[in-house]
Amino acid sequence: MSGINKKKLQDWFWAYLMILPTLAGTLIFSIWPLIQSFYLAFTKWGAFGSYEWGGTVNFERMLGDTVLWQSLRNTIVYTVGSVPAGIALSIVVAALLNTKIRGMSTYRTLYFLPVVTMPVAVAMVWRWLYNADFGLLNHMLRSVGIEGPRWLTDPKYAMLSLIIVSVWSSIGYNMVIFLSGLQGISKQYYEAADIDGASAFVQFFRITLPLLTPTIFFVTVTSLISAFQVFELIFTMIGINSPVIRHTQSIVFYFYRQAFVNMDKGYASAIALLLFAIIMAVTIVQFRLQRRWVHYE
Amino acid sequence: MSKHGSRQRINGKLVVHVILILGALLMVGPFVWMVLTSFMSLGESTRVPPVIIPSQLRWQNYQRVFTSFPFLRFYWNTFSTTVAKVVGQVLLCSMAGYAFARIRFPGRDFLFLLILSVLMVPSQAYIIPRYLLMVKFGWLNTLTALIVPNLASSFGTFLLRQFYLSLPVELEEAATLDGCNHFQIWYKVYAPLAKSGMIALAIFVALWSWNDLMWPLIVNSSPLKMPLSAGLASLQGQYGTDFPLLMAGSLMAVAPMIILFMVLQNQFVEGIALTGTKG
């Protein structure tokens, strides 16, 4: 009896020891700071990093801050513009690669390249391609008689430019996930459909897409979360001093600006909580809606 | 009839190839343009009509990156912090993942959920107090600030726990009879079997660490402690339209990850597929 207890205590000891570094790291560097953020959101910051209790002053300020709401709007436009297009294109590429085509792994490598490329470098090369005077894109448009826009400094085009880059760099990642989802679909469905004489087109919409919905759901949830947190692309491609920054800055960019440029960490904390709440809400809604369109086999 | 069918199939394949090749050109084009521009002179890069192939291989742009910036320093900062984070995270997550998957202990489910809950929180929601903590510790402008706060990982713990759960329990019983404690069972028996999971995690961590921008931007403003990502961003700040220089710098910054990807391609793909199906 006491032997069993001793063994148990020993197991517990090793278990706690083995989770200790991860637990401590999580508590010190994530969970405790998260709790502090809730407090900081209610503080007023003065010069030189001093702060005092400010009640709901930051939340009141939020209501009247048109720049904040504009940046939220920008984030939504960016998300709605990039996530569905990115998912649709990566499904198409994955489906094409899944047709037992030759050179499949070469294609996969090429489409995946942007995924392993540093976002700052991606933004840099695209800034060059988009350059209004000497960029390749406008050179190409000029050669067919079109005067290209000032992609990154015209408020009408800046967001579109960001969305294009976002789609370009996300296709490879999603494609790999969809490819593994497609490979999990049983061949029997297609064989049966072949016997019935269903065309490849019909098979795609009647078999492939419905059976891929669990993967589509997963990719949608993660893509929306990361699109809502877009920062690097705007920081590098547009930049804080650009005349179009108001039309392109995301909520995270605005958060960064308030926290580390304007040094108003109280207001920035309130913005961070708003972002947190939005992401939670969007994710919960998606889980609620999943029953309506996700088919589990 | 069958002849007609196979002809149609060949035509179909051709269409698929044409679409995929066009797509591939769009994906690779910017990289090719990066390479070509990096060898151009400033004059060539701003000519109308454009110069596509530079008249000679100008390595000067690459030299200029090193002379106008502490680029080697950036490299070292990125490289050393990435190695430290990869080794540290894989080790810590592997241990914690094993304990959560294989040992029964009081508070296990609560502690696991506590760690997991961080996954649902956007990092902005804790980044300010985390920064203030760095100030308090005196870690601003040190590599420690880039490494230590990122050693514990909810994602990695979850991923490897799933992995250990899928391994057979019988191995543990045999090892227990030999008188091993759980730590020994982990590193002698289970850790070697979870190698593919750990490699997948290592790749993720390497990629995130190499490419991360926001955190280094916040904690390390001194050029001597900047990683490549932040260094490159500041390069752009000073040489905004010197694209040959910027492309040379970018290319050097992304090359190691691209090479790593080429070498470990299958592991990259399997790792991502793993999180997509088990996540």
pLDDT for residue B279? 42
Query: Which chain B residue has the Cα nearest residue A169?
Result: B27
Is residue B153 scored above 90 in pLDDT? yes
Residue B26 touches chain A, beta carbons under 8 Å: yes
In 3D, which of B198, B192, B188 has the Cα closest to residue B156?
B198
Distance, C-alpha A20 to centroid of its chain: 31
Query: Which chain B residue has the Cα nearest residue A171?
Result: B27
**pTM of the predicted structure, to 2 decimals:** 0.93
Alpha carbon distances (Å) from A5 to A2, A9, B113: 5, 6, 27
Q: Pick from B30, B126, B229: which is nearest to A30 by CB? A: B126
Sign of the Cα torsion A217, A223, A226, A229 reads negative
In sequence order, what DSSP letters do the residues of chain B get, joined into one string?
-HHHHHHHHHHHHHHHHHHHHHHHHHHHHHHHHHHHHHTS-HHHHT-SSPPSS-SS--THHHHHHHHHS-HHHHHHHHHHHHHHHHHHHHHHHHHHHHHHHH---TTHHHHHHHHHHGGGS-THHHHHHHHHHHHHHT-TTSHHHHHGGGS--HHHHHHHHHHHHTS-SHHHHHHHHTT--HHHHIIIIIHHHTHHHHHHHHHHHHHHHHH--HHHHHH--SGGG--HHHHHHHHHHHSTT-HHHHHHHHHHHHHHHHHHHHHTHHHHHHHHHHHHHH-
pLDDT for residue B21? 96
pLDDT for residue A219? 94
Whether residue A24 sits in one domain with residue A85:
no
pLDDT for residue B103? 93
Whether residue A139 sits in one domain with residue A27:
no
Q: What is the mean pLDDT of chain B?
A: 91
Residues 6 or more apart whose Cβ sits within 8 Å of residue B230: B213, B216, B217, B220
Distance of alpha carbon B127 from alpha carbon A28, whole angstroms: 12
Whether residue A208 sits in one domain with residue A146:
yes
Whether residue A153 sits in one domain with residue A102:
yes
Whether residue A236 sits in one domain with residue A166:
yes
Is A172 in contact with B34 (Cβ distance < 8 A)? no
Q: Which residues of B touch A215 (CB under 8 A)?
A: 276-277
In a domain, A222, yes or no: yes
Whether residue A98 sits in one domain with residue A8:
no
Provide the token pair at A51. 């702060």
CATH number at residue A209: 1.10.3720.10
- List pLDDT tens digits, range B163-174: 999 888 888 887
In a domain, A38, yes or no: no
Q: How far is B50 from chain A (nearest CA, A)?
A: 7
Q: Among B76-85, B179-188, B211-220, which is the least confidently predicted range? A: B179-188
Per-residue pLDDT of chain A (297 residues; tens, 9 = 90+): 455 688 889 999 999 999 999 999 999 999 999 999 999 999 999 877 788 998 999 999 999 999 999 999 999 999 999 999 999 999 999 999 998 888 888 999 999 999 999 999 999 999 999 999 899 999 999 999 999 999 999 999 999 999 999 999 999 999 999 999 998 888 888 889 888 888 888 888 999 999 999 999 999 999 999 999 999 999 999 988 899 999 999 999 999 999 999 999 999 999 999 999 999 999 999 999 988 888 876
Q: How far is A248 from chain B (nearest CA, A)?
A: 18
Whether residue A162 sits in one domain with residue A93:
yes
What count of CB pairs under 8 Å joins A to B? 279
For residues B57 and B39, the answer to whether their CB atoms sit within 8 Å is yes
In a domain, A199, yes or no: yes
Give the torsion through C-alpha atoms of A149, A150, A156, A161, to 10 deg: 90
Phi, psi at B251, each rounded to 5°:
-60, -40
| Overall number of domains in chain A | 2
In terms of C-beta distances under 8 Å and separation of at least 24 residues, what long-range contacts does A182-186 make, across chains too?
A182/A94, A182/A95, A182/A98, A182/A208, A182/A212, A183/A98, A184/B277, A185/A211, A185/A212
Distance of alpha carbon A59 from alpha carbon A40, whole angstroms: 12
In a domain, A157, yes or no: yes
Half-sphere CA count of A81, side-chain side, radius 13 A: 19
Query: Which chain B residue has the Cα nearest residue A239?
Result: B237
The residue among B33, B37, B61, B127 with the most chain A CBs within 10 A of its CB, best to mutate, is: B127
Distance of alpha carbon A73 from alpha carbon A198, whole angstroms: 44
Half-sphere CA count of B251, side-chain side, radius 13 A: 21
Whether residue A199 sits in one domain with residue A120:
yes
Q: Which residues of A touch B181 (CB under 8 A)?
A: 10, 14
Distance of alpha carbon A38 from alpha carbon A273, whole angstroms: 7
Is A139 in contact with B48 (Cβ distance < 8 A)? yes
Residues 60-89 of B with CB under 8 A from A: none
In a domain, A44, yes or no: no
Whether residue A192 sits in one domain with residue A67:
yes
What residue ranges define each of the domains in chain B, with the CATH number in brackets? 2-60 (no CATH), 69-238 (1.10.3720.10)
In a domain, A212, yes or no: yes
Average pLDDT for residues B251-264, to the nearest whole number?
Answer: 94
Is B213 in contact with A101 (Cβ distance < 8 A)? no
Percent of chain B at pLDDT > 70 equals 96
- Domain of A132 in residue numbering reads as 61-293
Phi, psi at A52, each rounded to 5°:
-145, 165
Q: How far is B166 from chain A (nearest CA, A)?
A: 18
- List pLDDT tens digits, range B107-127: 999 999 999 999 989 999 999
Q: Which residue has the higher pLDDT, A279 or B3?
A: A279
Is A272 in contact with B276 (Cβ distance < 8 A)? no
Residue B11 touches chain A, beta carbons under 8 Å: no
Whether residue A265 sits in one domain with residue A128:
yes
Whether residue A160 sits in one domain with residue A28:
no
Residues 6 or more apart whose Cβ sits within 8 Å of residue B96: A18, A19, A21, A22, A23, B115, B157, B160, B161
Sign of the Cα torsion B173, B174, B180, B183 reads negative
Distance of alpha carbon A130 from alpha carbon A133, whole angstroms: 9
Whether residue A94 sits in one domain with residue A6:
no
In a domain, A145, yes or no: yes
Residue B15 touches chain A, beta carbons under 8 Å: no
